[in-house]
Chain A
Amino acid sequence: MNYFVIGYYALLIGGSCLAAHYRKREVFLILFSLTLASFVMGIVGGENALWAVSIGAGLLALAAGTAYSFREFLILIAGPLTARALRTAPLTAAFGMFVIFSYAVLGIFAPIIAPYGEAEVISQSFAPADENMLLGADQLGRDMFSRLVYGARNTVGLALVATAIAFFIGAILGMIAAVKQGWFDQIMGRLIDVVMSIPSLIFALLLLSILGTNLIILVIIIGVIYSPRVYRLTRAVAGNVVVMDYIEAAKLRGEGMWYLIRKEILPNSTAPLIAEFGLEFCFVFLLVAGLSFLGLGIQPPTADWGSMVRENATLISFGEITPLIPAAAIALLTVAVNMVVDWMLYRSSGLKE
């Protein structure tokens, strides 16, 4: 028994009592079940287990605090309309925004942040972390941290461009189909069905091995493969908009299709499309990482999270976590994007009140 263990239990039990006294049901349940769990863990794992719990709780609190301050910061700098929307954001969404913001900074200022170049060999292979290298070296002796920072730029940038292409193709075709209907709609619908029936990873592998792994080809192929989902969604959303009287009024005015799409339909379907953009981005991101892992995506020596996982995979057998760091970077971003998207979906689905 030392002071840490006594303080640990005192804090938990005191907290539970306070929560029970002020009738905070959820807080009490969490705190008290944690206390009970800690008894078991303390006996089984000893003091170390309790340290792990405290550190976990501390990190969670830190993340919550960061998210809260970041949201308040955004509310302060945003315009009144955006600020009102931001106030409804839960902490998870704020945390997601914070993570996305950090990745963006990392990607944009990669050359300034990274201490070494992405292809620069500075040490022997698999060198452990020291004062020069934050996370150690990879299989060729390149700085892991620098490659991670450059990877943010390459992998995220590529995924972003590919998603944008998917949206451009899918959304425009979807809206045209909604406006035109008739044979165009039918033909597009069946075509999309065909593309969607082939699993995306296999389709991408097939096309890449036929056309070669060029960065531009890669982006276009991913964009095309993912556009059918966007098409389906846009077609459905725009289908609900085209039946509105204001579309009829515009048609009777003699407006062309392009005007209808740009001025009347698009502004009324942005909310679900933005939410879908977030979701699609995650899928595309994972596909890019997956392709790189298989060696068909971004080619060396360009840093990329997917190929970084593969190249350092051998280290796992030695109990090192290094190859898991880029994997964690991928996971964190997808989770963060999904947190923001969840909030947007919630808002656009009209479940607000």
Chain B
Amino acid sequence: MAKKGNVLLKIEGLRIEAYADEKWFEIVHGVDMTLHRGEVMGLIGESGAGKSTIGLAAMGFARDGCRISGGSVEFDGLELTTTSETDRRRLRGSRIAYVAQSAAASFNPAHKLIDQHTEAPVHYRIRKRMESQEDAMDLYERLRLPNPREIGFRYPHQVSGGQLQRAMTAMAMSCRPDLIIFDEPTTALDVTTQIEVLAAIRDIVDQFNTAAIYITHDLAVVAQMADVIKVLLKGDEVEEADTKSMLENPQEDYTKSLWAVRSFRREQKPRPEESAAPVVEVKNVDASYGPVKVLEDVSFDVHAGMTVAVVGESGSGKSTAARCITGLLPPTSGRVLFQGEELPASYLKRSKDQLRQAQMIYQMADTALNPKVRIGEIIGRPAEFYGGLKGTDLKNRIDELLDMIELDPSKFYARYPPELSGGQKQRVGIARALAAEPTFIICDEVTSALDQLVAEGILKLLDRLQRDLDLAYMFITHDLATVRSIADEVVVMKQGKVVEQGPKDVMFKPPHHPYTDLLLSSVPEMDPEWLSTLLEERGVDNVGEAAST
């Protein structure tokens, strides 16, 4: 791939400490790294593995509350840990650039893209303002942004997420740095937009022979981008190898387990007979937010004990459909039937029992659990509210529920949500839904905020609960790997309409609806050649268009 130059970045025995509870904790325990000019290194690991911390340390930077406590970071012959802050600041932006995960949050919403772009080169007197603007347009063109000569004069909220992420990459390139650090640049994007960004980043890094550190938790993505992969676990290096050998022949058990995560598959259940009444029927539902129509003629059924996966890009109306079913957003027309009975449009008019039957599990467990209420109370409340349980009965029920979600009742009963990890919080969210003894659960992107290993655990748990309690799931997701592992039926949505629906087996086999095809082919695969092959098939120049049609 890229031609190797001399050593650009050399990190030795890097140790980083973080301050918590009035103590310094070591969070990175002596990591080494050597990066040559023009080389792309992929850093992968779960959250808390220290990926981002190490990435920032490569700029000689530690977040607030963190400090570099040992080791050396040598950038092009300059020792960053001992140089003054002024000298280090001079490097940042000009010779080392950083691309953050959320471009939407990293751009200043009050300035035009191009003004933010030209700030660094003008400040460092690398280029004059007008030259820099010309250069920005050139970079926008290379990154295949639409209307490269005009897009820079828009404000951040006027362009889409994928375009913003590319504009951010262009900005990082503005001073032609030697090293760019990409911190999960595509994690917040849909699969279809992710491809554009990946292709753009890969090209530009290649064209300018820039070295890069690519931080991600998605193996398939890193396989496309990196020359070398380094696997991290809890601040320690697990192993490092070039991409090909790492993918084909991982040495360590931990790496193998990461590789194996995507293999969880569940047998598809047989389709219920035509005569069997579905638990939930959505019939020709239209809905709108004010004058904006967001759902149009949406119909699908969910049968007892089955999982219906609703897939689509963000903005396709998946979550809105769920809001119509729960009654948070009364549909403008159409009906929602529950066990053959029509549900009142608004949740306010539904009976306690109707509310009990349909429960919801949320994407962000952080905001779905009240941080000031103990776990026991969170789980106990639905049981108390619907079942009227009190005293010992209630306590026993809570213990039973905690057992069901594989958390130790004696340990977790009295804790508060902020003391739990992401996966544990999500489990509590599941238990709260179960406490109501529902027949139907809406899972809204329940695994997308979690690490792959943890997400797999949640999927297995949901699957087991479904079998034990004969639950019907509506599974909203944009991740097709999740669909593949847990769904029985698939509903594909786009711009508020159902594009295609049917049993999973059928849906994953061609022929597809063109949109389904686009979604399916956009899911990154572990093959390092996947992106190149795909781009070739689609024709490089119209990736963007292909994704936006």
**Of A87, A249, A255, A268, which is within 8 A of B360 by CB?**
A249
Please name all residues of chain B whose beta carbon is closer than 8 Å to the beta carbon of A72 when the two chains form the complex.
Answer: none
Number of residues from A at the complex interface, CB < 8 A:
17
Residues in B whose Cβ lies below 8 Å from that of A253: 355, 381-382, 385-386, 436
- The answer for the CA separation of A249 and B364 in the assembled complex, in Å, is 12
Is A245 in contact with B364, judged by CB distance below 8 angstroms? yes
Contact check, B385 vs A254: say whether CB atoms are below 8 A apart. yes
Across chains A and B, the number of contacting residue pairs, with CB separation under 8 Å, is 54
Nearest CB in chain A: distance from B206 CB, A: 39
* B23–chain A nearest beta-carbon distance, Å: 12
Query: Nearest-CB distance from B539 to chain A (Å)?
Result: 42
Stretch touching chain A among B88-96, B133-141, B369-377: B369-377
* A245–B444 CA distance with the chains assembled, in angstroms: 11
Are B328's CB and A246's CB within 8 A? no
CB of B382 within 8 A of CB of A246, answer no
State the CA gap A172–B19 with chains docked (Å).
Answer: 39
Residues on the B chain within 8 Å of A246, using CB: 367-370
Q: Across the interface, do B328 and A248 meet the contact criterion of CB distance under 8 Å?
A: yes
Contact in complex: B372, A267 (CB < 8 Å): yes
Known: A84-B21, A255-B385. 14 other contacts (CB 8 A): A244-B367, A244-B370, A246-B368, A246-B370, A248-B360, A249-B432, A251-B328, A252-B326, A252-B327, A252-B347, A252-B360, A254-B352, A254-B385, A268-B371
Is B253 in contact with chain A by the CB < 8 A criterion?
no
Chain A residues numbered 243-265 whose CB sits less than 8 Å from any CB in chain B:
244-246, 248-249, 251-255, 263-264
Verify if A353 is at the interface (C-beta below 8 Å from B): yes
Contact between A245 and B373 (Cβ–Cβ < 8 Å)? Answer: no
Majority-rule SS of A interface residues: helix
The distance from the CB of B352 to the nearest CB of chain A, in whole angstroms, is: 5
- Among A84, A248, A353, contact of B65 (Cβ-Cβ < 8 Å): A353
Q: What are 15 sample pairs from A and B whose C-beta atoms fall under 8 A apart?
A: A84-B21, A84-B22, A87-B22, A245-B367, A246-B367, A246-B369, A249-B432, A251-B328, A252-B355, A252-B359, A254-B347, A264-B370, A268-B372, A353-B64, A353-B65
In angstroms, Cα B367 to Cα A264, docked, is 12
Q: Chain A 49-91 against B: per-residue CB contact (8 Å), 1 yes, 0 no?
A: 0000000000000000000000000000000000010010000
Which residues of the partner chain A approach B19 to less than 8 Å between Cβ atoms?
353
B362 within 8 A of A: yes
Question: A267 to B418, alpha carbons, bound, how many Å?
Answer: 14
How far apart sit A168 and B46, CA to CA, in the bound complex (Å)?
A: 47
* A87 contacts across to B, CB distance below 8 A: 22
Q: How far, in angstroms, from A263 to B373 measured CA to CA in the complex?
A: 8
Q: Which residue of A has the minimal Cβ distance to B417?
A: A246
Across the interface, do B362 and A245 meet the contact criterion of CB distance under 8 Å? Answer: yes
B400-429 CB contact bits vs A (8 Å, 1 = yes)? 000000000000000000000000000000
Given A87-B22, A252-B360, A254-B355, are A267 and B328 neighbors across the interface (CB < 8 Å)?
no
**7 closest A-B pairs (Cβ-Cβ)?**
A267-B372, A245-B368, A353-B65, A246-B370, A245-B362, A245-B367, A254-B355
Nearest A-chain residue to B352, judged by Cβ: A254
Instruction: Select which of A84, A251, A252, A268 is within 8 A of B370 by beta carbon.
Output: A268
As a 0/1 sequence over residues 264 to 299 of chain A, the CB contacts with chain B under 8 angstroms (1 = contact) are: 100110000000000000000000000000000000
Chain B residues with Cβ below 8 Å from A252 are: 326-328, 347, 355, 359-360
Q: How far is the CB of B328 from chain A (nearest CB, A)?
A: 7
Which A residues are CB-close (under 8 A) to B364?
A: 245
* Smallest beta-carbon distance B386→chain A, Å: 8
Residues of A within 8 A of B386 (CB): 253
How far, in angstroms, from A245 to B360 measured CA to CA in the complex? Answer: 10
- Distance A84 CA – B21 CA, assembled complex (angstroms): 8
Q: Interface residue tally of chain B, by bracket?
A: 20 to 34
Contacts of B381 in A (CB 8 A): 253
Separation of A23 and B323 alpha carbons in the complex (Å):
63
Give the distance in Å from the alpha carbon of A264 to the alpha carbon of B417 in the complex: 14
A165–B437 alpha-carbon span in the complex (Å): 43
How far, in whole Å, are A84 and B23 apart by their CA atoms in the complex? 12
1/0 contact string of B377-388 vs chain A (CB within 8 Å): 000011001100
Nearest residue, chain B, Cβ from A246 = B370
Asked if A251 contacts B367 (CB within 8 A), the reply is no
Contacts of A251 in B (CB 8 A): 328, 347
* Least CB separation from A254: chain B residue: B355
Interface residues of B in 1-47 (CB under 8 A from A): 19, 21-22
Query: Which residues on B sit within 8 Å (CB–CB) of A245?
Result: 362, 364, 367-368
Which positions 332-371 of chain B face chain A at CB distance < 8 Å? 347, 350, 352, 355, 359-360, 362, 364, 367-371
Cα A246 to Cα B369 with chains together (Å): 5
* Separation of A246 and B433 alpha carbons in the complex (Å): 12
The digit string for B320-334, where 1 denotes a CB below 8 A from any CB of A, is 000000111000000
Measured CB to CB, the closest approach of chain B to A268, in angstroms, equals 6
Q: Residue of A at shortest CB range from B386?
A: A253
A353 to B62, CA, bound (A): 13
A87→B21 CA distance, assembly (Å): 11
Residues of B close to A248: CB separation below 8 A: 328, 360
Q: Which residues of A contact B350 (CB under 8 A)?
A: 254
How many angstroms between the C-alpha atoms of A255 and B347 in the bound complex?
11
Contacts of A268 in B (CB 8 A): 370-372
Q: A249-B360, A353-B64 are in contact. Are A267 and B385 (CB under 8 A)?
A: no
Docked pose: A255 CA to B19 CA in angstroms: 40
Q: Which A294-353 residues sit within 8 Å CB-CB of chain B?
A: 353
- The minimal Cβ–Cβ distance linking A204 to chain B, given in whole angstroms, is 36
| A181 → chain B closest CB, angstroms | 13
CA distance A235 to B476 in the complex (A): 33
Chain B nearest CB: distance from A85 CB in Å? 12
**Cβ-closest chain A residue relative to B435:** A253
Give Cα A84–Cα B362 distance, bound, in whole angstroms: 33
Complex CA–CA separation, A322 to B117 (angstroms): 66
Cα separation A300 to B545 with both chains bound (whole Å): 83
Instruction: Return B427 CB to nearest CB of chain A, in Å.
Output: 15
In the bound assembly, the distance between CA atoms of A195 and B326 in angstroms comes to: 40
Question: Nearest A residue to B22 by beta-carbon distance?
Answer: A87
Question: Within the assembled complex, what's the spacing in Å between the Cα atoms of A249 and B362?
Answer: 9
* Cα separation A353 to B328 with both chains bound (whole Å): 38
* B385 CB contacts on chain A under 8 angstroms: 253-255
Chain A residues with CB under 8 Å of B355's CB are 252-254
CA distance A349 to B387 in the complex (A): 39
Cβ of B191 to closest chain A Cβ, rounded Å: 25
A190 shortest CB reach to chain B, Å: 23
Residue of A nearest to B371 (CB): A268
Chain A nearest Cβ from B200, distance in angstroms? 34
Nearest B residue to A264 via CB reads: B370
Contact A267 B362 (CB under 8 A): no
A249 to B438, CA, bound (A): 14
Docked Cα-Cα span, A252 to B347, in Å, equals 7
Contacting residues, chain A, for B326 (C-beta < 8 A): 252
User: Which residues of the partner chain A approach B22 to less than 8 Å between Cβ atoms?
Assistant: 84, 87
- Interface members, chain A 72-114 (any B CB < 8 Å): 84, 87
- Chain A residues contacting B359 (CB-CB under 8 Å) are 252
Q: Which residue of A lies closest to B354 (CB)?
A: A254
